[in-house]
Structure 1
Amino acid sequence: MPTHQLLLGAQALWEELARAPRSFPPPDGVNVIVSPESGLCPPGWVGVVVLGGSALVTAPAESTARALRTALAGLPPSALVDAAAVREVLPVAGMLGPAALAYVTPEGFRPAAGPWAVERLPGGRPALRALEEAAGEEDSAEASLDEITSRAFVVREHGRVVAAAGYRAWSRRTAHISVLTAPGARGRGLARTTASAAVADALATGLLPQWRARPPASRRVAAALGFEELGAQLSLEPAPDGPAPRPLATLLP
């Protein structure tokens, strides 16, 4: 599948999540729409997804959308998923992300094998919960192993699960990949090995693997497996007074 078709598939996925079919603008464009039920962000927040150089922004109400169009006017799409750039033009009470969005085709997939045996476990097993506890709350929340709908692909050492991966079935036959490695077992290729098994399983069932990540280490694992970064996602909680227009000085060269 060429990159262009991969991009169209990714955009169609996020349009469906935004409850707004065919809403991505042409390259270099920004489309701010009203979508109270948007799945791009938590309820009441502003969702931003940039894919292929075009940005789709969802607002919970028309008043928020109007203010966003004014505040974001003139910004290139890439700036809308730059946390620092966004904070310069919008009063923000909370932020999730940005997270890179990457996808892989069967042709582009580069499987990774290691000296470890990969075991399959049903999701939600106590061994996975023990791994999440060892990894800590922040890393476990990033991985979201508790949300996978596939089996978990795990590596054990001395009887203990030290790395696991799986995926959650999303809209439009998308497989959202989750990967987690115990802190003391990182840097040895275990994430690549378990993630490779999960990706191979998703591709074998005709799903489009998606890798959403913030940490550079996670993004490197995705790149090693052949994933292409096509854009990024950011969620914004508007400040109580809502988005405000930028001062004139910020609009000047």
Structure 2
Amino acid sequence: MSMDPLLLRARGLWEDLARVPASFAPPGGVNVVVSPDSGLCPVGWVGAVALGGAAIVTVPTESTTLIVRKALARLSVEAIVDGTSVWEVLPIARALGPAALSYLSPGGFRPVEAGALLVEQLPAGHPELRHLEKVAGDEDAGEAALDEITSPAFVVREQGQVVAAAGYRAWPSRTAHIGVLTAPAVRGQGLARVTGSATVAHALAAGLLPQWRARPPASRRVAASLGFEELGFQLSIEII
């Protein structure tokens, strides 16, 4: 049976990010490869990405390979990226994630009308985006990573101040990695969906694959409302 085109494209992205010859294992399997420069995780860490019931795991050194492969052999693909089970089989110092990985095909996009809201464009790096990040706090600003976008920022104002913004960073394999940020005082009003929708429309018009990576449940709900399909998870771990 042929693989879903969206899953195939998403897997191709992470195979490229492994930065060594690597491919996803057959269903239920895990491929562990050595990649000191892996884009699946911070330098020197172990990176795991599971998509469609199979996984790629990158390790920084040959010596780490044996440890990781033996430990992960006890776990299912789902358990490898669930953020809990790996702590039981590996000596972990720190972890990032798990983060859900969601993707969108042009036919699955459910755009959100701005209604009475005015969605403006600001250039990446605009000072008003930095102000919004300060208002939102380090954790949420880090999750959105608007300081890394390469697209215009799509913003909504309230009383002259930018209170919600979204944009994307150009990733390999013609992928648009989307980030969305809303000021705490105006959350729950649908502003993330409005700015996110404008960003997705821009990415699709450029022929890019929209990717939404999120840990907070609220962010995952926004992605689902726009038509994103949650295909898997990413987890990065630093071994002691």
Q: TM-score, normalised by structure 1?
A: 0.92
Work out whether 1:108 is the aligned partner of 2:108: yes
Unaligned runs of 5+ in 1: 240-253
Give 5+ residue unaligned stretches, structure 2: none
Equivalent residue, structure 2, for 1:78: 78
RMSD: 1.1
Map 1:198-217 → 2, pairs under 5 A? 198-217=199-218
Matched, 1:132 2:97: no
- SS of the residue corresponding to residue 70 of structure 1 reads helix
Of 74-83 and 18-27, the range deviating more from structure 2: 18-27
2:3 & 2:103 partners in 1: Cα distance? 9
Write out per-residue CA displacement over residues 73-105 of structure 1, whole angstroms, 9 at most, x where no aligned residue: 131100011111111111100101110000001
1:60-71 map, 5 Å: 60-71=60-71
Report the CA distance shift for 1:111/1:3 in structure 2 as closer, same or farther (over 3 A).
farther
Structure 1 CA distance for aligned equivalents of residues 70 and 17 of structure 2: 25
Preserved CA contact (<8 Å) 1:118 1:194: yes
Distance 2:189 2:54 in 1: 37
For the residues of structure 1 that align with 2:141 and 2:151, how far apart are their CA atoms? 17
Matched residue SS, 1:107: helix
In the TM superposition, residue 21 of structure 1 has moved relative to its aligned partner by 3.8
| Residue of structure 2 in register with 1:234 after alignment | 235
CA distance in structure 2 between the aligned counterparts of 1:238 and 1:91, rounded to whole angstroms: 6
Q: Tell whether the 8 Å contact from 2:22 to 2:56 is kept in structure 1 after alignment.
A: no
What TM-score does the superposition give when structure 2 sets the normalisation length? 0.97
In the alignment of these two chains, the number of paired residues is 238
C-alpha contact (below 8 Å) 2:104/2:209 kept by paired residues: yes
Structure 1 residue 194: deviation in Å?
A: 0.2
| Counterpart check, 1:195 vs 2:167 | no
Give per-residue Cα distances to partners, 1:119-139, cap 9 Å, x unaligned. 001011111111000000000
Give how far 1:20 is off: 3.0
The aligned counterpart of 2:7 is: 7
Confirm whether residue 41 of structure 1 aligns to residue 37 of structure 2.
Answer: no
Q: How does 1:47-66 map to 2 (within 5 A)?
A: 47-66=47-66
1:12 and 1:21 in contact (8 A); partners too:
no
Residue 185 of structure 1: aligned partner: 186
Residues in 2 aligned to 1:189 and 1:146: alpha-carbon distance in whole angstroms:
22
Q: CA deviation at 1:72?
A: 1.1
- 1:165 is matched by which residue type in structure 2? A
Q: Is the 8 A contact 2:16 2:172 kept in 1?
A: yes
Report the CA distance between 1:11 and its aligned residue.
0.6
SS of match in other structure, 2:166: strand
Matched residues in 2 for 1:7 and 1:125: separation? 34
Aligned counterparts of 2:176 and 2:83: Cα–Cα separation in 1:
27
Deviation at 1:163, TM superposition (A): 0.2
1:220 alignment partner, SS class: helix
